[in-house]
A and B are shown apart, each in its own frame.
Chain A
Amino acid sequence: MNILDCHDLTKIYPGQTTALDHINLSCADGKIIGLLGPNGSGKTTLVKLIQGLLTPTEGEVLIDGKKPGPETKAMVSYLPDLMSFDESMKIRDLFWLYQDFYADFDKSRAEDMIQKLQLDPSEKIKLLSKGNKEKVQLILCMARNARLYLLDEPIGGVDPATRDFILHTILSNYQRDKASILISTHLIADVENILDEAIIIQKGHIQLHESVETIREQYGCSVNEYFKEAFKCY
C-alpha cells in the first residue's frame, strides 16, 4: 500500500489561478521524500490538500488509501508553514492540547526534547524567539507516532544551528519501518542528504520524481545542482 497517491489532482483557486494541474503521484511507504520547487510552484497547495485543509477542484488524493478526513488526520502529523498556536499559551499547555487531540502523541518524548533545548515549559509562546517557536512547533509535530509526517517548510528562515537541530530532530524521531516523511522546501541543498526521493514540482506540474542517489549517479551532481541546471530562470 502506498502512503500517498494522487490521481489527476487539480486545484484551481478563485480567479482561475491553477495551482496544481492534473498531478499523478505515488509514494511508497517508509521513505523521506522531499517536495522541492521554487516559491509559487504549488508545494503548499499539495500539502494542504493532503491535510484536507483544501478540497480538490478535480481528482483525488489518498493517504494510505483513504481520502483526507478524521481517520487520516489521526495518522498524519502536520507542520504548517506558519505559526499555528495561540501564542498566549504556555509550552506546557500545548503538550496537554496535543495529548487531548492526538492519541499518538508521546508527551514524555516531547518533554525530553524541550528539556534538551533548555526551554522552560512554563514559558509563554509569544515570549520565545522566532527560532525557538519553530523548534517547539516541530517538537510537537515529531513527538507524535504518526504514519506520515507532513512538514511544510520546516527550515525556512532559521539560522544554520537551528537548521541542524531541526534536521537532527526529524532524523532522530523517524522510525523508517513505521513512518514516512514528506518535507516541502525550496532549500534543497540543506535537506538533500536526508532524503530518499525528490519530487520536483514547478508551475503546478511534477517535473521529476526520482531517488536522490539515482539523480547523483545519473547526472554526477547534487540534487541542488541538478535543480538549478534543469530549471534555470534566465
Chain B
Amino acid sequence: MTWKLDPDRPIYLQIIDRIQTDIVTGVYPPGGQLPSVRALALEAGVNPNTLQKAMSELERSGLVESHRTSGRFVTTDEEKIRRLKESLVKQEIQTLLKKLKIYGLTKAELIEYIERNEEEQ
C-alpha cells in the first residue's frame, strides 16, 4: 500500500511533512537509522529522485544526518526535535483555529469546548 498523497501539492513537501511527523512521534527515534531512499520511494510509490530531494532538504535543516557509508540517521539533538514538534503543533492549531473562526467563539468558549470534549471521551 503506497502513501496517501495530495496530487495538487509538490510531492517532496509532503514527504518532508510525513518524515518530520514520524520523527516527532518517535517512529524514527533520535539517532535512529532511516530506511534507504530506494526503500522509502517504493513504500511511498513515488519517484526516487523526488524522495532524494526531500531527504536533502531534511539534511539541510539538520534534522537528518547523512553518514557517508552507513546511511541516514535522525539527529541526536533532542532539543531540535522538540522545537520541531512545537512548530508542527502550532501549525495544526492555526489550521484548526482558522476553520473554527466561522463559529465566532471567544478564547474562553473555545477552551471550554475542548475541556468538555475531553471529559466526554
Contact = CB atoms under 8 A, between A and B. Distances in A.
A222 B8 contact: yes
A211 to B, nearest CB: 10
Interface in B38-56: 41-42, 45-50, 53
B7 A192 contact: yes
A194 B10 contact: no
A192 B11 CA distance: 10
Contacts of B41: 171
Contacts of A195: 47
B10 A213 contact: yes
Given A164-B2, A217-B10, A224-B7, A193 B42 contact: no
A168 B42 contact: yes
A172 B45 CA distance: 10
B12 interface: yes
A182 to B, nearest CB: 14
B9 interface: yes
A221 interface: yes
Contacts of A31: 49
A32 interface: yes
B17 to A, nearest CB: 14
A171 B8 contact: no
Interface in B1-17: 2, 5, 7-12
Assign chain A's interface to a size class: 20 to 34
Nearest to A195: B47
Interface string A179-198: 00000000001001111100
Given A192-B7, A193-B11, A221-B8, A176 B49 contact: yes
A196 B49 contact: yes
A157 interface: no
Given A171-B41, A171-B42, A172-B42, A216 B8 contact: yes
Interface in A186-234: 189, 192-196, 212-213, 216-217, 220-225
Contacts, number: 54
Nearest to B46: A193
Interface in A129-153: none
Given A216-B9, A216-B11, A222-B8, A32 B42 contact: no
A196 B47 contact: yes
Contacts of B5: 193
Interface centre among B11, B45, B49 (most CB of A within 10 A): B49
A167 interface: yes
A225 B11 CA distance: 15
16 contacts: A30-B49, A32-B47, A32-B49, A168-B45, A171-B48, A189-B7, A193-B2, A195-B47, A212-B11, A216-B7, A216-B8, A216-B11, A217-B10, A220-B8, A224-B7, A225-B7
Interface of A: 30-32, 164, 167-168, 171-172, 174, 176, 189, 192-196, 212-213, 216-217, 220-225
Given A30-B49, A174-B48, 18 more contacts: A31-B49, A164-B2, A171-B45, A193-B7, A194-B46, A196-B47, A213-B10, A213-B11, A213-B50, A213-B53, A216-B7, A216-B10, A216-B11, A220-B8, A222-B7, A222-B8, A224-B7, A225-B7
Closest CB pairs A-B (n = 6): A222-B7, A213-B10, A216-B10, A194-B47, A193-B46, A221-B8
